[in-house]
Structure 1
Amino acid sequence: MNLSQLLHHFKTELRDVYEEEEVKSIFSIAAEHLLQFNRSKLMLSWDIEPEPAQEASFLAIAKGLKAHRPIQYLLGEAFFYGLTFKVNESVLIPRPETEELVDWIISGHPSNPSVIDFGTGSGCIAISLKKHLKNSRVSAVDISEDALRLASENALLNHAAINFIHADLLSFRTEDKFDIIVSNPPYITGKEMAEMHQNVLAHEPHLALFVPDESPLLFYEAVADFARTNLQREGSLFFEINEYLSKEMIQMLKHKSFTTIELRKDMQGKDRMICAKF
């Protein structure tokens, strides 16, 4: 099959899973990964027939997508803040809104900060901060050994020296002080599951997604308590948050003696990020 025929195959196989424009976008991502064709080159190459092994890879990707597997897992990589990260089903796929959080942190801090990232997953936050904050010293914590193994691979891939720590953020303690404490912890309640796409529910790690309905701020409170003893005097605490719990987050942070609290919306207009200081 040539590329035009392969695209038609994708559209036919995935018509019950994705809108047509989304199928085209996904096909373009696959073509760039398998053939190193950017979108412009792809538009001029519909008559090209990939090698048999490449064609087989296209067909395998279409089959995986039909089973609701995310394209990033099928390709084994995702892009975040200009960097490439290996991903698999032990870590969340990096999201654009998390890039906005990273950009906020980078834009407001000088060089030489000490940083700790709780619930690092693929390492996308920690590694991006290490690459863009000059002379930063970055630690990253996760409870999942599989996630830390992959994050360590991503640190090597992106030439970033990170101190990875296998620990539960609910109980982690250290005497070290930090200029930046950041976390994108689990924050989706069980009540919100019905609103989620099947490719997330079936394949992304529930350990990194969900929090008990009865204690939706469980992980935020633990990180905030850590910050009360381990945040430098002029330091900043950053969170990515559940858009439906911004008022509760602000109330919780005030209760824990944070005096300067800034809430920001993401590009979709959702309450998604908070910075807190003493």
Structure 2
Amino acid sequence: MASTARPLYQQLSRNITAYPPEEAREMAFMLLDHYFGLRKADVLADRALPTNRTEPDWFRIIERLNRQEPIQHVIGTTIFCGLEFEVSSDVLIPRPETEDLIRLIMHDFADMTERPVRVIDIGTGSGCLAVTLARFLPQSDVTGWDVSEEALTTARRNAETLQADVNFEIQDILNVPADSVGLFDCIVSNPPYVTRSEAAHMDRNVLDYEPDVALFVDDSDPLIFYKAVADFAVTHLSETGICYVEINERFGDATKAVFDERGFTSVQVYKDIHGKDRSVRAAKK
């Protein structure tokens, strides 16, 4: 067994065969960071492995990765906005693109200190949006909704671990009682938006291991959740409030139209770092 980082890194990289070499190398870096706290620079400098380390079952880990189980599930966590979140097959793995929603919200609300910012995260999953906003906004009153009790269990653990005050509730945005809640300054949602026809082009590490309920919508009505969120926002967004949604890159203009048609006067589509339509911001004025 290696006593320094680089030989172990090289061994792991070679044995992860289900992915292209560049991805395998990145996974090896992630494993050494997670299990031994060694950053990429430490590995490249061939630092000594911790002498008091508990050696993980590398054979089992490599086996799971080569079945294309997501590395986030193998190590049990992922980083989102600099915070470490627990993930599992019960929740969608937070993506870097979703951090754009946090940036938009922080730009709009970071200086709002005269009263608490009331936030609701619809389809909270792991709680990554709700927990991050509860942590980053100086004053906030954050609620997270999801249809999955298993997802909410994970979200509650993340809130507890990251010391975030979030009220999580089981609720289906497609069936919200009219008088169930009051007004919100910020409504945010990363709802299911992948059409069933797109599944044929997706990787196994997504299709086989992440929850369908958090991913897919029928091709016959791909904007069903955006219509529901927009309808909710019409009656539950404060007069100066703003709604933010992550979107399917294929439906940027169509999603914008959903909010335009409901009377929102300031609706904008934002692109991600790859130049793809990724989010919509909608305000009443």
TM-score by length of 2: 0.92
Q: 1:262 maps to what in 2?
A: 268
Q: 2:35 maps to what in 1?
A: 34
Q: 1:125 maps to what in 2?
A: 129
Q: Residues 141-167 of structure 1: CA distance to partner in whole angstroms, max 9, x if unpaired?
A: 000000000100000011111011111
Q: 2:159 maps to what in 1?
A: 155
Q: Does 1:204 align with 2:210?
A: yes
Identity of aligned residues (%): 38
Matched ranges for 1:1-278 at <5 A: 1-2=1-2, 3-15=5-17, 17-45=18-46, 53-54=54-55, 56-109=56-109, 110-111=112-113, 112-173=116-177, 174-278=180-284
Inter-partner Cα distance in structure 1 for 2:190 and 2:49: 43
Inter-partner Cα distance in structure 2 for 1:182 and 1:237: 6
Inter-partner Cα distance in structure 2 for 1:84 and 1:180: 24
| Amino acid paired to 1:80 | F
Q: Where does structure 2 lack aligned partners over 5 or more consecutive residues?
A: none
Q: 8 Å contact 1:30–1:58 — kept in the other structure? A: no
Q: 8 Å contact 2:253–2:269 — kept in the other structure? A: no
CA RMSD of the aligned region, Å? 1.7
Q: Where does structure 1 lack aligned partners over 5 or more consecutive residues?
A: none
| Amino acid paired to 1:123 | G
Moved more, 191-200 or 114-123: 191-200
SS in 2 for 1:262: strand
| Amino acid paired to 1:153 | R
Q: 8 Å contact 1:6–1:58 — kept in the other structure? A: no
Shift of 1:4: 4.6
TM-score by length of 1: 0.94
| Amino acid paired to 2:89 | E
Inter-partner Cα distance in structure 2 for 1:175 and 1:157: 27
Inter-partner Cα distance in structure 2 for 1:196 and 1:58: 27
Inter-partner Cα distance in structure 1 for 2:135 and 2:265: 30
Shift of 1:45: 2.8
| Amino acid paired to 2:149 | E
Inter-partner Cα distance in structure 2 for 1:176 and 1:47: 56
SS in 2 for 1:108: helix
